[in-house]
Amino acid sequence: MKLSKYLAFQIVGWGVFACFSIYIANITHELTWKLFTFDIFLSLIGFSLTHLYRNYIKKQQWVFFNTEKIIFNCTIASILLSVIYNGIYFALLLGANLSKSPIMTINVLWGAFISMFLLFSIWNLFYFLWMYIEKSRKTQIETLKIEGMLKDIELKSLRANLQPHFIFNSLNNIRALVDENPEQARDAITKMSNILRSLITKQDLVDLLQNELNLVEDYLSLEKIRFEERLIFKKEIQAECLTVKIPTMMLQTLIENAIKHGISYKEEGGAISIKAFINQNFLNIEIENDIELNQQNVAHTHSLGFGLDSTKQRLKLLYNEKSSFQFEKKNDRAVVKIKIPINHQNDLK
């Protein structure tokens, strides 16, 4: 059976006390087998008293008291324990006839009381200090677990909102083709089924940039049904970026946002470009798209739809403060810049 930390503390502490008492008796040339047994027995008495005291502390839940009340209770307890211990000590000392000189003097009684009071006070100090450390550690662990659960729930909630958002837009695009171009509609449905299969089977919060780019290209092929030649897509991706993981569907969400709040307002359509490169252990992603300058909403990031808000929230949840998200306008172009730490990859699934 594994020895608990508390029992180890008790055994070592009172064992040291017994050894110290025996050592004092030895250097004063008073050590006998009878006195040796007596000192061991006194240590067992101390062990028993503090163990009963500890059970009382746990039952009354002193650890949840405020500091002032704990100090007051421990002081009173140390006084009572000292009186009880010394009462047993002197009763046994007299009964065993181990003392050759008068012992019941005020100075002797006071000295014995002070010694044991200090010993029990030290016991209280060590015990409550350890309890405080253990409580703080457990509280921190529980807090981290709760934060992790909340983060996981929130991320899954975001994904649950992302997927229908994508699906409904794509279905609307395909519906427009059913009567107009059945063959192209069948091709679009095939692409749509491939995308849905990927979304349903993929449960990870992050995925390779390569896979996310494939999803974007499939999505844009569906959007081209509506925009035709008015939608231009460009990409400039460093090869080493393709194996870096990013939040699942992040790119598709931002591209959808760029079309809905940017290009769709321009009669002549526009271009979307994606750049990805690695710099100082960060994956840098830049997405640019044309915007309509007369559109008032483009000046305000918070009004640019679910894509930007969800991306900022997901980056914060997944990477804390290690990632960054920036949105800005450059003349007639909207630019989103994202930095994701590469050395954080192993912490995510």
Q: What is the pLDDT of residues 92-149, one digit of tens each?
A: 877 766 554 445 678 888 888 898 999 999 999 988 888 888 777 777 777 766 666 6
Instruction: Say yes or no: 88 and 192 in one domain.
Output: no
In single-letter form, the type of residue at position 339 comes to K
Task: Give me the phi and psi of 326, to 5 degrees please.
Answer: -135, 140
**Model-wide pTM > 0.85:** no
Which residue positions in the chain have pLDDT lower than 70?
1-3, 96-104, 144-166, 198-200, 202-203, 293-306, 344-349
At residue 288, the pLDDT reads 92
Task: Tell me whether residue 154 is in a domain.
Answer: no
In single-letter form, the type of residue at position 133 comes to I
Structure tokens at 336: 């989103």
Task: Tell me whether residue 97 is in a domain.
Answer: yes
Q: How far apart are CA 183 and CA 189, in angstroms?
A: 10
Nearest to 122 by CA among 169, 82, 62, 173: 82
Strand pairing class (270-279; 231-237): parallel
Task: Tell me whether residue 162 is in a domain.
Answer: no
Task: Tell me whether residue 236 is in a domain.
Answer: yes
Instruction: Say yes or no: 182 and 139 in one domain.
Output: no
Instruction: Say yes or no: 189 and 67 in one domain.
Output: no
The CATH number of residue 197's host domain is 3.30.565.10
Query: Which residues on neighbouring strands pair with residue 207, listed in sequence order?
Result: 246
What is the per-residue DSSP string for 142-193?
Answer: HHHHHHHHHHHHHHHHHHHHHHHHHHHHHHHHHHTHHHH-HHHHHHHHHHHH
Instruction: Say yes or no: 184 and 323 in one domain.
Output: yes
Instruction: Say yes or no: 130 and 182 in one domain.
Output: no
The answer for 15, left when phi > 0, alpha when psi is -120 to 50, beta otherwise, is alpha
Instruction: Say yes or no: 194 and 310 in one domain.
Output: yes
Instruction: Say yes or no: 101 and 183 in one domain.
Output: no
Domain containing residue 102: 5-143
Task: Tell me whether residue 193 is in a domain.
Answer: yes
Instruction: Say yes or no: 18 and 100 in one domain.
Output: yes
Task: Tell me whether residue 137 is in a domain.
Answer: yes
CB atoms within 10 A of CB 47: 18
Total domains present in the chain: 2
Length of the chain: 349
Query: Which residues on neighbouring strands pair with residue 328, listed in sequence order?
Result: 335
Task: Give me the phi and psi of 247, to 5 degrees please.
Answer: -55, 135
Instruction: Say yes or no: 193 and 339 in one domain.
Output: yes
Task: Tell me whether residue 93 is in a domain.
Answer: yes
The model's pLDDT over 9-27, given as tens digits with 9 standing for 90+, comes to 888 888 888 888 888 878 8
In single-letter form, the type of residue at position 169 comes to N
* DSSP tag of 270: E
Instruction: Say yes or no: 287 and 231 in one domain.
Output: yes
* DSSP tag of 297: G
Q: Residues 249, 306: contact at Cβ < 8 Å?
A: no
CB atoms within 10 A of CB 34: 11
